[in-house]
């Protein structure tokens, strides 16, 4: 009689393989700057990492879908990231990023009147 591998053994092996594959792909590992290394104050500020009042955009930077330092962003970078990660429709992504300047930092979003909305991703 042939013995079959236990379901639990198969699941553990599959989980280990998935974990190894994820470990090899370091691009989106979590990074959360703190203390003097980060600032949400509008420029000019000397912090090496910028964050915004928007938790969704901060998460994208923390996980590497946007530049981790929160600087040199473009509307296209933000558009691609929110479409890929949050599964936002291209039309909505375009509408959300249309008012943005050609280049910005996450801290720029802290300036009153720079861009404001009553929605949340």
Q: What does the pLDDT look like over 57-85, one tens digit per residue?
A: 999 998 999 999 999 999 999 999 999 99
Main-chain phi, psi angles of 73, to 5 degrees: -85, 150
Q: Which domain holds residue 69?
A: 35-110
What pLDDT score was predicted for residue 51?
86
Do the Cβ atoms of 67 and 73 come closer than 8 Å?
yes
- Residue 68 maps to a domain: yes
Q: What pLDDT sits at residue 2?
A: 52
Let me know if residue 3 belongs to a domain: no
Task: Report if residue 47 sits inside a domain.
Answer: yes
What domain count does the chain have? 1
pLDDT digits (tens, 9 = 90+) for 18-58: 444 444 445 566 676 667 667 666 667 777 888 888 899 99
pTM above 0.85?
Answer: no
How far, in Å, CA of 111 to CA of 17, rounded?
A: 45
103 located within any domain: yes
Q: Does residue 81 sit within a domain? A: yes
The percentage of the chain sitting over the pLDDT mark of 90, rounded to a whole number, equals 38
Neighbouring C-alpha atoms within 13 Å toward the C-beta of 92: 11
């Amino acid at each position: 009689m042939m013995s079959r591998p236990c379901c639990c053994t198969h699941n553990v092996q599959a989980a280990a393989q998935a974990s190894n594959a994820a470990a090899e792909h370091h691009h989106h590992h979590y990074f959360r700057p703190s203390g003097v290394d980060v600032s949400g104050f509008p420029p000019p500020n000397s912090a090496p990492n910028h964050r915004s009042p928007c938790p969704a955009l901060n998460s994208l930077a923390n996980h590497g879908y946007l530049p981790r330092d929160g600087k040199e962003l473009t509307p296209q970078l933000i558009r691609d990231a929110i479409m890929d990660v949050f599964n936002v429709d291209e039309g909505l992504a375009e509408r959300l990023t249309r008012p943005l300047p050609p280049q910005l930092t996450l801290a720029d979003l802290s300036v009153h009147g720079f861009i404001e909305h009553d929605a949340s991703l």
